[in-house]
């Protein structure tokens, strides 16, 4: 098989959950046609995390094959809010919040995409101009039954939770983006399936050829749940190298292979060997995770920083050394619960705040994640290093 054919097969399979229409898209790619590849991202938080970077890496793969990347920053859709992956209604964000979150998006996107060869659009450019007649015509293409059949919407309705009419409009807006930029292909996670298909339907209604769709798998965060800023379990593109390395080392062992596939570009053959060696017991998951962490940190910070982060992790956690910035505790610890100790040390505003930090996976003792906020500290904890968040180290 020619190299280009192999690259295209990898493009359509690595980390990919579904392609619509696969054969049509593959034929276009093999023909050498240069396509417009669309991806939209709403600035609902100031940081882009690895979960979103799964799609960005796939965009880079398309770009390396010579296709045009069309990035849409959802400064309008971000205000409205997409609840495709949410268990409850997402509140509308203010324009000030969106503007603040957008400030570093271009810089973060540039970590993976050559922006000099890409297009960047803001969807307020065309969405703000639409009137009731336009929206009415678009809405007429969809039924309410289709919308409420979506798994998360059905779950909320069955549970008696509110679903706003605003949420019904979001897929129309994302779909109209595809018309505005004349998209040939749109990328997104599996949670975006309904929105991605809306683009195809709207394009057909406007006399355009429907875009092909490529959906990537979702990855889990550091606590084993879907990676999401609202969960606080993210590994962010602009995390400091030591923090990024440490966060990757904290993911569950069963996620190592998924991260290697989705968050790095190690050859698939290499990833398969790592998986096989771990299954055979000839490769310690910890060593595989160190390799994973180094690959990810190298991608965003370079070889030198990755090497330094690896050394820092080994010295700080693997050898149980106390980092230079660890301070001795000022509060008596004996008899206090972990949550009470955190409050006494100024590591949490209240016991409720301490409990939240612990349950979200942000607290470690000697490099081991702690999930029980009711642990009572006794003499056995003396000398252990408590880590809260990214930078707070306290020697008990």
The three-state DSSP-derived secondary structure of the chain is CCHHHHHHHHHCCCCEEEEECHHHHHHHHHCCCCCEEEEEECCCCCCCEHHHHHHHHHHHHHHHCCCEEEEEECCCHHHHCCCCCCCCCCCCCCHHHHHHHHCCHHHHHCCCCCHHHCEEEECHHHHCCCCHHHHHHHHCCCCHHHHHCCHHHHHHHHCCCCCCHHHHHHHHHHHHHHHHHCCCEEEEEHHHHHHHHHHHHHHHHCCCCCCEEEEECCCECCCCCECCHHHCCCCECCCCHHHHHHHHHCCCHHHHHHHHHHHCCCCHHHHHHHHHHHHHCCCCHHHHHHHHHHHHHHHHHCHHHHHHHHHHHHHHHHCCCCCCCCEECCCCCCCCEHHHHHHHCCCCCCHHHHHHHHHCCCEEECCEECCCCCCECCHHHCCCEEEECCCEEEEC
Nearest-angstrom CA–CA distance, 129 and 121: 15
Angle between helices 256-263 and 285-301 (to 10 degrees): 20
Q: pLDDT at position 68, please?
A: 98
Confidence of residue 235 (pLDDT cuts 50, 70, 90): very high
Backbone angles phi, psi at 23, to 5 degrees: -65, -40
Nearest-angstrom CA–CA distance, 317 and 319: 6
Please give the order of strands across the beta sheet that includes 392-395.
327-328, 392-395, 385-388, 363-365, 368-369
Q: pLDDT at position 1, please?
A: 43
The upper half-sphere exposure of residue 124, i.e. CA atoms within 13 Å in the direction of its Cβ, equals: 12
Give the pLDDT confidence of 15-28 residue by residue, as tens digits.
999 999 999 999 99
Q: pLDDT at position 2, please?
A: 45
Nearest-angstrom CA–CA distance, 166 and 164: 5
CB atoms within 10 A of CB 381: 17
Nearest-angstrom CA–CA distance, 221 and 253: 12
- Examine the pLDDT at 337 and tell me if it is beyond 80: yes
Q: pLDDT at position 361, please?
A: 84
Residue ranges and CATH numbers for the domains of the chain are 3-221 (3.40.50.620), 241-318 (1.10.240.10), 327-395 (3.10.290.10)
Pick the range with the lowest mean pLDDT from 175-184, 226-235, 284-293: 226-235
Please give the order of strands across the beta sheet that includes 16-20.
16-20, 212-216, 185-189, 36-41, 68-73, 119-122
The sign of the torsion formed by the CA atoms of 141, 143, 146, 152 equals: positive
Q: pLDDT at position 321, please?
A: 57
- Examine the pLDDT at 268 and tell me if it is beyond 80: yes
Q: Which residue has the tokens 């880079």?
A: 60
Nearest-angstrom CA–CA distance, 279 and 301: 31
**Long-range contacts, 151-160 (Cβ 8 Å, 24+):** 152/83, 152/84, 152/85, 152/86, 152/87, 155/87, 156/87, 156/88, 156/89
Confidence of residue 259 (pLDDT cuts 50, 70, 90): very high
Confidence of residue 123 (pLDDT cuts 50, 70, 90): very high
Highest mean pLDDT out of 103-112, 178-187, 368-377: 178-187
330, two tokens: 């000022």
Select from 48, 31, 37 the least CA-distant residue to 72. Answer: 37
Confidence of residue 257 (pLDDT cuts 50, 70, 90): very high
Beta bridge partners of 336: none
Q: What is the mean pLDDT of residues 2-14?
A: 83
More confident residue, 132 or 320: 132
Mean pLDDT score across all residues of the chain: 89
Nearest-angstrom CA–CA distance, 352 and 350: 5
104, two tokens: 């570093």
| pTM given for the model | 0.77
- Examine the pLDDT at 320 and tell me if it is beyond 70: no
User: pLDDT above 70 covers what percent of the chain?
Assistant: 94
Q: What is the mean pLDDT of residues 238-243?
A: 91
Give the pLDDT confidence of 345-392 residue by residue, as tens digits.
889 999 999 999 998 888 988 777 888 888 888 766 777 788 898 778
Separation in Å, CA 384 to CA 10, 13, 367, 394? 47, 46, 10, 8
- Examine the pLDDT at 122 and tell me if it is beyond 80: yes
């Amino acid at each position: 098989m020619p190299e280009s054919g192999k690259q295209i097969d990898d493009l359509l399979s690595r980390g990919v959950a579904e392609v619509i229409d696969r054969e049509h898209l593959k034929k276009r790619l093999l023909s050498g046609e240069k396509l417009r590849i669309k991806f939209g991202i709403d600035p609902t938080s100031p940081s882009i995390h690895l979960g979103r970077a799964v799609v960005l890496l796939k965009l880079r793969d398309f770009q390396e094959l010579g296709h045009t990347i069309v990035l849409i920053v959802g400064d309008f859709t971000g205000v409205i809010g997409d609840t495709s992956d949410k268990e409850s209604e997402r509140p509308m964000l203010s324009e000030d919040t969106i503007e603040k979150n957008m400030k570093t998006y271009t810089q973060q996107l540039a970590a993976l995409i050559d922006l000099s060869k890409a297009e960047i659009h803001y969807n307020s450019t065309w969405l703000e101009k639409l009137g009731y007649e336009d929206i009415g015509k678009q809405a007429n293409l969809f039924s309410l039954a289709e919308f409420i059949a979506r798994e998360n919407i059905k779950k909320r309705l069955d549970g008696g939770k509110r679903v706003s009419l605003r949420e019904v409009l979001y897929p129309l807006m994302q779909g109209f983006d595809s018309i505005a930029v004349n998209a040939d292909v749109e990328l997104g996670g599996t949670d975006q399936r309904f929105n991605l298909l809306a683009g195809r339907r709207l394009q057909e209604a406007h006399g355009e050829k429907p875009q092909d769709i490529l959906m990537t798998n979702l990855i889990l965060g550091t606590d084993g749940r879907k990676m999401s800023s609202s969960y606080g379990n993210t590994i962010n593109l602009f995390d400091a190298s030591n923090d990024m390395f440490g966060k990757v080392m904290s993911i569950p062992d069963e996620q190592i292979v998924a991260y290697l596939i989705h968050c790095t570009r190690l050859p698939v053959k290499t990833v398969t060997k790592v998986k096989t060696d771990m299954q055979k017991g000839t490769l310690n998951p910890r060593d595989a995770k160190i390799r994973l962490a180094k690959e990810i940190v190298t991608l965003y910070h370079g070889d030198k920083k990755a090497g330094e982060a690896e050394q820092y992790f080994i010295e700080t956690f693997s050898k149980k050394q106390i980092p230079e910035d660890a301070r001795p505790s000022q509060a008596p610890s004996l008899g206090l619960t972990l949550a009470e100790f955190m409050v006494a040390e100024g590591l949490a505003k209240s016991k409720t705040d301490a409990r939240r930090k612990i349950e979200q996976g942000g607290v470690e003792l000697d490099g081991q994640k702690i999930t029980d906020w009711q642990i009572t500290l006794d003499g056995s904890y003396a000398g252990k290093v408590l880590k809260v968040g990214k930078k707070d180290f306290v020697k008990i």
